[in-house]
Amino acid sequence: MNPKYQPIMEPYRFKNGVEVKNRVVLAPMTISYSRQDGTISDDVIAYYESRSNGVGMAVTGSAIVTSSGKVFGGEIAADHDDRIPSLQRLAAAMKKRGAKAILQIFHGGREALPEALSNGEIVSASAIAKEGQSVIPRALEEQEILEIIRAFGASTRRAIEAGFDGVEIHGANRFLIQQFFSPYTNRRDDRWGGNLDKRMAFPLAVVDEVNRAVAEHAKRPFLVGYRFSPEEEMTPGITMADTLKLVDALANKNLDYLHVSLMDFWSKPRRGVEDNRSRMEMIDELAGQRVPVIGVGSIRTPDEALRALQSGVPLIALGRELIIDPDWVEKVTQGREDEIRTEITLHDQEKLGIADPLWHKIVHTPGWFPIAGQGVTG
């Protein structure tokens, strides 16, 4: 291995004692591979075993905590105890080559497609339709909110029983937790909405419930992370100032890590703060002494990963890059970094084991993936 890349391969120990063998994390990406009933297919097992190769920690794509949380069908399911055997297969595959396996848990809220839900009823923090959609979600009632919070705890217990090393609470990408935090999707006037503190109530209650489940059920150190999107483009929407207040609260919640959802590690705030630094740098400065921050966003080469680590974050997540080249870590450790693929070709689907829904999204979302001959803007 080229000695300059040694920092990427240094082990990292979390405060609860869990140690990962290097600083590379498989970022969570929804690959739409599970069966419609939520059980884990052989394709899912093969995909995650391949993408967990060499990384220190691997995070699954989103797993539903209740059946009302489906977005499109094909998600991993962690909503009933009969899912545990399927989840055990997945955890074992991810851990096969030494990675720590993390189950990302979520509820889709208003992002759901009606046809993905058994009763066709979409729910959210408030009755605000998704942009470009005519279906108006139903605002959740108090008892339903409490049931969903408890469902996050129950799914955490299932992850523990299935042999995962941790869970990641999915508070990003416009799903239900973010819908409660955002002033755009949360127009409530009860204890779950209104001012910024009340809009943080649901995310923080989920964190408390997950931590409670870990304290009750985990017999060994078990990681709890939280992923969030730092800003929204709509008005009113989440601003960088809002996110910094949430980050400050999360950093005091005994979490093991924070995971930022970004397309570009070095992107700068849109609004809410007067600061010329990147969002990642601001978040790490605020929270990094209390809870480690995982950086992510268009990191493709070892040099880009090294530069990101040098900004101060201790861990780097690769998503698209590990889809393009599952052997990224292995090539770095073997001094073969010149062989790392950073583009995908239109003939790679079968070779890379990519499901049809994800492949369709890769090919038809301009700028999301670097496609040979087409360039990339993301």
Predicted local confidence at residue 253, as pLDDT: 97
| Residue of higher predicted confidence among 207 and 47 | 207
Q: Which residues pair with 285 in a beta bridge?
A: none
On the question of pLDDT at 357 being above 90, the answer is: no
Closest CA to 140 of 66, 204, 238, 234: 66
**pLDDT the model gives residue 375:** 52
In the prediction, which pLDDT does 9 show? 98
Q: Do the Cβ atoms of 163 and 90 come closer than 8 Å?
A: no
Name the average pLDDT for the chain: 94
Please give the pLDDT value at position 164: 98
Q: Is the pLDDT of residue 377 over 60?
A: no
pLDDT confidence of 32, banded at 50, 70, 90? low
The torsion angle over the Cα atoms of residues 229, 232, 237 and 240, rounded to 10 degrees, is 60
pLDDT of residue 36: 65
pLDDT of residue 34 exceeding 70? no
- The reply to whether the predicted model has a pTM over 0.75 is yes
Q: CB of 106 within 8 A of CB of 176?
A: yes
pLDDT (tens digit, 9 = 90+) per residue, 285-303?
999 999 999 999 999 999 9
Backbone region of residue 220 per phi and psi (left: phi > 0; alpha: psi in -120 to 50; beta: other values): beta
The CATH number of 3-342 is: 3.20.20.70
SS3 240: helix
Buried residues in 242-277 as b, exposed as e (16+ CB within 10 A): bbbbbbeebbebbbbbbbbbbeebbeebeebbeeee
Predicted local distance difference test score (pLDDT) of residue 35: 66
